Amino acid sequence: MTGKEVVDLLDEIYPKIRTHLSHENPFQLLVATVLSAQSTDVQINKVTPKLFAQFPDAKSMSRAPIRELERLVKSSGFFHVKARRIKEISKHIIEDFHGEVPDSMETLLTLPGIGRKTANIVLSAGYGKIEGIAVDTHVFRLSRRIGLSQSATPEKIEIDLMKITPKNLWPRLSILLIFHGRQICFARSPLCSKCLLNSKCVYFKNLQDKAKNLGSS
């Protein structure tokens, strides 16, 4: 199966949006994406309105008292680490990029703790630029399960997906796999019978083969 085939099939059931993270500009998207680690978009969207009301840009956030940041992001989980991270990132944006979130993969990766996944989200949803495919836990799991890639790292899976998917569909493939991972293709007990991809899915084929072997033994 190719990336385009996945997009064509899943486009039938998922909305055409870029990200569920609420944001008004690239800085807010960057911060929300950092906060979303080990959390959910729904939870982060409850956190960020109060956070951005007090600290709407890199300048104000870079000067924010760490205890206040921790209080505001506490419900996102790992709040000690996340509060320090968004403050540190904000300082770098002020010092190195004149207060503006950088708009290239190379420069985004110079920010503390920012990897390709976050950079790809900011570039595609924040700037409308396509430089890669955001590989989160859902994209990682589904790519291997469906048979799009057998690589063992997010970086290598991203390369594999880029090879089998037209560039203009890279952001869409990522968001569709994320939606599908949340709705159908769970880490445990995926709903294979309800999946539009099951006729071409390696995981589902293996399940069927095992069932046949058990039935014939």
Q: Which residues contact 28 (CB under 8 A, 6 or more apart)?
A: 48, 52, 56
Structural domains of the chain ordered from first start: 1-190 (1.10.340.30)
pTM, 2 dp: 0.91
Residue 136 a catalytic site member: yes
Nearest-angstrom CA–CA distance, 57 and 53: 10
Mean pLDDT by 10 residues, the chain (217 residues): 95 84 96 94 95 98 98 96 98 97 97 96 96 96 97 97 97 95 95 95 92 73
- CA–CA gap between residue 211 and residue 214 (Å, rounded): 5
User: Is position 212 annotated as part of the catalytic site?
Assistant: no
Residue 67 host element (H or E): helix 66-73
pLDDT for position 16 = 81
Token couple for 2: 């190719």
Nearest to 73 by CA among 101, 99, 37: 37
The residue from 136, 160, 200, 205 that is catalytic is 136
Q: What is the pLDDT of residue 217?
A: 58
Q: What is the pLDDT of residue 216?
A: 65
Long-range CB contact pairs, 198-206, < 8 A, 24+: 200/1, 200/5, 200/146, 200/147, 201/1, 201/145, 201/146, 201/147, 202/145, 202/146, 202/147, 203/145, 203/146, 203/147
Q: Region of 21 please: left (phi>0), alpha (psi -120 to 50) or beta.
A: beta
- Of 26, 114, 35, the closest CA to residue 82 belongs to 35
Contacts of 70 (CB under 8 A, 6+ apart): 79, 80, 83
Catalytic residue among 16, 46, 96, 117: 117
